[in-house]
Amino acid sequence: MPTFVYSTDSPATVRADVLVLPIFEGPEAGPGIKDVKGADLLALYAEAKLKGKKGEPLLVPNTGGLGVAAKSVLLVGVGKRRDVTTDSLRRALGRVAPQLAKRRTVATTFPQVVGRSPEDAVQATVEGVLLGAYRFDRYKSGKNEDHPEKPALRTVTVLGSPRWTGRAVVRSLEESIARGDIVSDAVAWARDLVNTPAGDLTPEDLAGHAAQMAKEVGLECKVWTEAELQRGKFGGILGVGQGSVNPPRMIELKYKGGPSGQAPIALTGKGITFDSGGLSIKDAAGMEWMKCDMAGAASILAALKAIARLKPNVNVIAAIPSSENMPSGSAIRPGDVLKHRGGKTSEVVNTDAEGRLVLADALAYLAERKPRVIIDTATLTGACMVALGRDIYGVFGNDRGLIRDILAAGEAVGEPGWELPLHRDYRHLIKSQVADVRNAGKDRWGGAITAALFLAEFVGDTPWAHLDIAGPAFPEKAGDYWPNGATGVPTRTLVQYVLIQATRPSRRSG
């Protein structure tokens, strides 16, 4: 990981392998362009037929006539001046981050593009560089021509406006750099977990990674074994996992940053380390990317990792269920009835609707802890992807204030979500003749809603929100600041939500 340093030095005087300067669409000069006296950079950019659209790059080598100390200048479009946000910075830098990773030293004026909230702009700059440079190459031999170069980047100088001085301002911006570094590290870890092949990440392996992380950052951790899950009557986690030779686990984490009597924020995420569909088996194409069915669990683990390092004044607990959904002679069958934590029963009509079965146990367990809110994340339904596509997660819940807070947190960090209705009139679609509820609707319509309604059965009156991240968690197509594969969504949303809540009084006492 490179080191980030803050400076208000003139861009022309900073020594670096490459100086990254923003260009507004037009093109129009962004901060730092006019500091380069030896060449008309804007004219060079325009002559290359570039407009300044987000991420459009032009590398200008310094052969001695630019009048800057940097060896080269990289001009990068950030879009229209009036439309630029902190996420614009993150995305534009993310697009050029792979080539920046090949340089040892980089400097940039990118935070100066946004006139307000320099702290957010600095954090977004750090995240753009780190998240955009991420690669998952653990299984590359190094002899393959497609194997990417190892990152060479050692130092990034974040150039603030000359007005951003004073001890308090500088300290605040340095804290923003540290926060961006911590959050990016957590997201990269989530991506690593999701990208790891399922053969190397069983429920036991996932729990082992969680326990190691907890030890490193100072979280309390308990891993529930199969025997303990049986004694605790976690019928959903056990039922889904009974078809696999790899036994299920539940990972319980606690972060104690608030007063001992403060009700905690409760988090959980779907941790299906591989989803074959069980006896309701998927086709071959549908199984190819099912190592990602634990992306919800990964986002919760990563969020706790970041929270423990950022140390907000709030209590957070997590209960993360993990099973492997496989077909075998011992697998659950359509028509079976599972008894969940707390006593409710569910009829399994489709073994490929397994995520809600494990989450039901975790939600019921967390509700027993009397938290202020419960949030779950899950790659739960293709129906949500049909509705919202690959970039946007759906949010359901029983508390509009909680939903608004989550959506605001997602918007602030560039992870967009959209509220979908928890339409109670659809409850009849998951009514069972033999159990309290069935695990899939009676027809294909409204599948994301009926899945959320199933989960709602297990939270009682606790304020609760469900994030269906099936689309953005693993889009299989490179984005602005991620390569093919896992994105780490919604880790940054969860961290932002918790940091904001740490400044507010609890809405529910324990």
Q: Which residues are catalytic?
A: 282, 356
Instruction: Give 440's DSSP letter.
Output: S
Residue 201 near residue 155 (C-beta atoms within 8 A): no
Residue 242 near residue 332 (C-beta atoms within 8 A): yes
Amino acid at 115: G
**In this structure, is the dihedral angle defined by the CA atoms of residues 368, 374, 380 and 381, taken in order, positive or negative?**
positive
Q: What is the DSSP string of 169-227?
A: HHHHHHHHHHHHHHHHHHHHHHHHHHHS-GGG--HHHHHHHHHHHHHHHT-EEEEE-HH
**In this structure, is the dihedral angle defined by the CA atoms of residues 189, 451, 274 and 484, taken in order, positive or negative?**
negative
Strands, E, within 55-138: which ranges? 57-61, 72-79, 105-108
Give the phi and the psi of residue 307 in degrees, each rounded to 5: -60, -45
Amino acid at 297: A
Select from 58, 123, 126 the least CA-distant residue to 94: 126
Amino acid at 219: L
